[in-house]
Structure 1
Amino acid sequence: MTISTGIVLFVIGAILTFAVNVEFDAISLDLIGYILMGAGVVVFIIGLITMTTARRRTVDRVERVDRVGPID
């Protein structure tokens, strides 16, 4: 989920920075695009880190059950 969110943020930021040529007096779409691209990279890296650490922590556990009494 976080990896795809990072990719989406990066793509939206790239579109705002490089493809949209609308200018507003109070808002710089280029700056917002760069911020979104940076946030997308950070979220993508966090997703990769959490994915790799979660795989290392999984432990398979086998339970042994001893039967008491005769086996039929």
Structure 2
Amino acid sequence: MGIGVSIFLLALGAILAFALNIDIAGIDVHVIGWILMAAGVIGLIMTALIWGRRRQVVAPAETVEYRSTEPVEYRREAPPL
């Protein structure tokens, strides 16, 4: 889940929990709102943890340069006829 989806779930859950006063048989809209808000908070925390790990700076490994002690010969080939 990304940040956008988490914020959407938080907003939708808050609307269902606090703004609506609907009675549906067998469904408690306020509980569904609280569940959506909890899912949004968990999504934000998980996204922050995952992004925090991605942004860690890792020191590059030491590069080793190999040099040959033999002289390098450059050959020039004749162009094709």
- Considering the TM-score relative to the shorter chain, is it more than 0.5? yes
TM normalised by structure 1 equals 0.77
Equivalent residue number for residue 27 of structure 2: 27
TM normalised by structure 2 equals 0.69
Which has the greater radius of gyration? Answer: 2
Question: Which runs of 5 or more structure 1 residues have no equivalent in the other structure?
Answer: none
Question: Which runs of 5 or more structure 2 residues have no equivalent in the other structure?
Answer: 75-81
The runs of at least 4 aligned residues of structure 1 exceeding 6 Å deviation read: 63-68
More helix by share: 1
Tell me the matched-pair count.
71
Equivalent residue number for residue 48 of structure 2: 48
Aligned-residue offset at 1:20: 1.1
Q: Answer whether contact 1:14 1:37 (CA < 8 A) is retained.
A: yes
Q: In angstroms, what is the RMSD of aligned CA positions?
A: 2.6
